[in-house]
Amino acid sequence: MTAADRAELIELLEKSEGEMMQYITALSDAQWAFKPAPDRWSVGEVVEHIVLAEGLMFDLAVKSLDSQANPKWQQILTKTAVLKAALPNRSRRVDAPAAIQPKQRMTREAVLARFKEQRARIGAYARDTDKPLKAHTSPNPFFGDLNAHQWLLYVPLHTIRHNQQIAEVKAAPAFPKP
């Protein structure tokens, strides 16, 4: 990972976390649980999904380093631009895999504590790692093989996507007033 890659990743992690916290910090319990439609997620469900997904993405990035380097790793580098364009774009709806769909088994406090702990761990890893992230890959259900650096970028880009979803929930006409 180059110095520019590292700086970009850290900036995206900080931006996406700050934006999410700004959207959710002052929400009442009713606002946290409000669903704009029966088939749509509440803010709480969106945040739980983010937490579940980030844990999985970080684990995939780190575990990919245990395998042999992908001899075709340079061909995968072009996917970085694709991820940066596709993930924040909410014009195309995507159904989350079952493993990262919210189940509402954690309290709000537990979800937020887990988010902060995971983000601290991911941020520390992004700042400190010197591993060859771009040479090691693992599969993604939507984009095919991604390298470990791309998996780390996926974390904040995915959160940015869902920050927009949180804003959409909050903009719903029936969203409870403070």
- In the block, which residue shows the tokens 């997904």? 53
Is residue 131 in some structural domain? yes
| Three-state DSSP state, 141 | coil
Contact 65, 133 (CB under 8 A): yes
Is residue 84 in some structural domain? yes
Report the pLDDT value the prediction gives residue 95, as an integer from 0 to 100. 87
CA 159 to each of CA 80, 131, 136, 163: distance values in angstroms, whole numbers, following the listed order: 16, 24, 23, 6
Report the pLDDT value the prediction gives residue 70, as an integer from 0 to 100. 85
Whichever domain contains 59, its CATH number is 1.20.120.450
Biggest distance spanned by C-alpha atoms of the chain: 55
Report the pLDDT value the prediction gives residue 72, as an integer from 0 to 100. 87
Report the pLDDT value the prediction gives residue 97, as an integer from 0 to 100. 85
Residues 6+ apart with CB under 8 A from 167: 23
Domain count, the chain: 1
| Three-state DSSP state, 117 | helix
Along the 178 residues of the chain, how does pLDDT read in single tens digits?
899 999 999 999 999 999 999 999 999 999 999 999 999 999 999 999 999 999 999 999 999 999 899 888 988 899 999 999 999 999 888 888 888 999 998 999 999 999 999 999 999 999 999 999 999 999 998 899 999 999 999 999 999 999 999 999 999 999 999 8
Provide the domain limits for residue 33. 3-170
Q: Report the distance separating Cα 157 and Cα 143, nearest Å.
A: 14
Is residue 176 in some structural domain? no
Phi, psi at 137, each rounded to 5°: -125, 160
Entry pTM? 0.94
Would you state the structure tokens that stand for residue 9, as one six-digit string? 């990743």
Is residue 178 in some structural domain? no
Is residue 177 in some structural domain? no
Would you state the structure tokens that stand for residue 69, as one six-digit string? 């380097």
